[in-house]
Amino acid sequence: MKLCVIIPLCALFTLTQQGPPQDQCVCDLTNSEKAFPHAKLSTVEDNASKCNININPKKTLELESLMLGLERRLPQLQEDVSVLERENDSELYGALSLLVIENELTEIKKLIKKLNMTTQGHHRLTTDTNDQLKDLITEMAKLEKYDTLQVVKRKQAHERLKKGLRPTSQPTQPPHGICPHGRFLNITGPRIYTAGEYPGSYMYGAWGRDPKPEVGKENWYWLVMLTSSNIYANYVRLYSSLSSLIVGVSGPGNIEIHSSNPTTNTVQGPNVVLYGGALYYNCYKKYAVCRFNLTTKTATTMQLPEGTRFNSKGNFCNLDACYSYTDLDLATDESGVWVIYTTSQDFGNLVLSKVEEGEPPTLNQTWHTSVFKQGVSNTFMACGVLYATRYVSKEVEEIFYSFDTSTEVEKFNIGIFIKKMSPNIYSLNYSPVDQMLHAYCDSFMVSYKVVFG
């Protein structure tokens, strides 16, 4: 049935790499009409990612972002199609998968449209690529027609779905310190580099993926930009997929904390995280973590110890200057939410506390490190280990320090280098869902893949 239509559609995507000059890579979209290319799709992914590595993103920023969007969407589609195949026994989940696939197709279509616009600007792809894009869009239109014929059937399934659907169980959380992926070895990338929806507009912010998403929001991405005085934010902007974020199309839109900015419970500073459908951040003029529930739109406050540095008095720094209002750094990893800060009694050294999700959220264990916060440019958590970075040059940041909460062992010689796309990383956070590091750098959203082994 519907599968048969989806399958040839995937076969339309073929990315070929054309003998590129050293610092340039041109990707061509060509058309082919073969059977569903499970094997081929992985070659395409390989080729697309090879292509990404070779591209100089500064020159071809938009093109690369779009290619990456496609690169990400294709395996997603492949995966969802195979889920649908496996779930043939259950009408309910089958119907759910169809909805998901339909969403993906819509997004891929948007992506292709944007790609067409971009390539025209770049004058990089040939006119017959344009024709091929046209064919692709015709195929998409046919598919849509088919979809409308299926609407009634699907609506019925959807009704049953609403009655019978239960939230999927959360994966069990590993105790921190024990890493399900092995040891943190290195990082590669950047894998994503995009100016997003507001190119150059907001220098400071954070973005990422909720590690414990609500059902149906598994692929959503979030973005918080400091829209007032480069210090404060009053809303979370949501995207239903990575490609939507790259293309700059926000379906779900904004969720506002308060219409005024700043005011009580406003986000202060860039190092925020979204976890379990709630935003954790340093709240306006308090040495406290606020948790804003995106569903109920209410904020709860969790006080940090007396002596905690706040209001830009305990910041991260690069060689020349400190990053304003980075007193509290919120982080996520496999075990949940953490807060990294410093206090007067710790003489400005980093302090790390586990945040428990309860109502209200509370602080659990706290660890005191011997690394001076002003010698650190940012931190993140992965598998219960705190990692700290320092500024090396405009092009390079180094992960130089780690603190393992399970053994309390500190290391100052990590020596893992991050290739930067802009000089300053204002927020850095690890996503346990896909083992990516998400960075917000001078208005660009950049991400890296963590290599475990």
Ligand X SMILES: *[C@@H]1O[C@H](CO)[C@@H](O)[C@H](O)[C@H]1NC(C)=O
Of 88 and 201, which has the nearer Cβ to ligand X? 88
Q: Which of 99, 88, 115 is nearest to 15 (CA)?
A: 115
Of 37 and 375, which has the nearer Cβ to ligand X? 37
Contacts of residue 235, Cβ cutoff 8 Å, sequence gap at least 6: 224, 227, 254, 255, 256, 257
CB of 88 to ligand X, least distance (A): 4
CB of 384 to ligand X, least distance (A): 9
The pair of structure tokens assigned to 118 is: 């971009």
Long-range contacts of 363-370 (CB under 8 A, 24+ apart): 363/302, 363/304, 363/339, 365/405, 366/305, 367/403, 367/405, 367/408, 369/403, 369/410, 370/410
CB of 191 to ligand X, least distance (A): 11
How many other C-beta atoms lie within 10 A of the C-beta of residue 276?
A: 18
CB of 450 to ligand X, least distance (A): 11
CB of 196 to ligand X, least distance (A): 23
State the Cα–Cα distance between residues 251 and 255, nearest whole angstrom: 12
Tell me the CA distances in angstroms from 78 to 40, 179, 218, 408, one per residue in order.
11, 28, 16, 42
Of 8 and 348, which has the nearer Cβ to ligand X? 8
User: In this structure, are strands 273-275 and 444-452 parallel, antiparallel, or unpaired?
Assistant: unpaired
Any idea what DSSP says for residue 131? H
Only one residue has tokens 């800060």, namely: 341
CB of 230 to ligand X, least distance (A): 28
Binding stretches for ligand X (CB under 6 A) = 14-17, 40, 43-44, 47, 85, 88, 116, 120, 130, 133-134, 137, 186, 188, 276-278, 293, 295-296, 356, 362, 364-365
Of 212 and 373, which has the nearer Cβ to ligand X? 212
Q: Which of 406, 441, 405, 412 is nearest to 425 (CA)?
A: 441
Of 201 and 298, which has the nearer Cβ to ligand X? 298
Only one residue has tokens 């320092």, namely: 390
Would you call 318 helix, strand, or coil by DSSP? coil
Of 73 and 309, which has the nearer Cβ to ligand X? 73
User: In this structure, are strands 14-18 and 444-452 parallel, antiparallel, or unpaired?
Assistant: unpaired
How many residues are recorded in the chain? 453
CB of 348 to ligand X, least distance (A): 26
Alpha helix segments (H runs only) across 19-90: 38-54, 61-86
Of 14 and 308, which has the nearer Cβ to ligand X? 14
Of 214 and 321, which has the nearer Cβ to ligand X? 214
Question: Which position's Cβ is nearest ligand X?
Answer: 133
**370 contacts 410 by C-beta, under 8 angstroms:** yes
CB of 344 to ligand X, least distance (A): 25
Of 147 and 356, which has the nearer Cβ to ligand X? 356
Of 231 and 385, which has the nearer Cβ to ligand X? 385
Burial 313-322 (b: 16+ CB within 10 A, else e): ebbbbbeeeb
DSSP class per residue in 183-215: -EEEEEEEEEEE-TTSTTT-SSEEEE--SSPPT
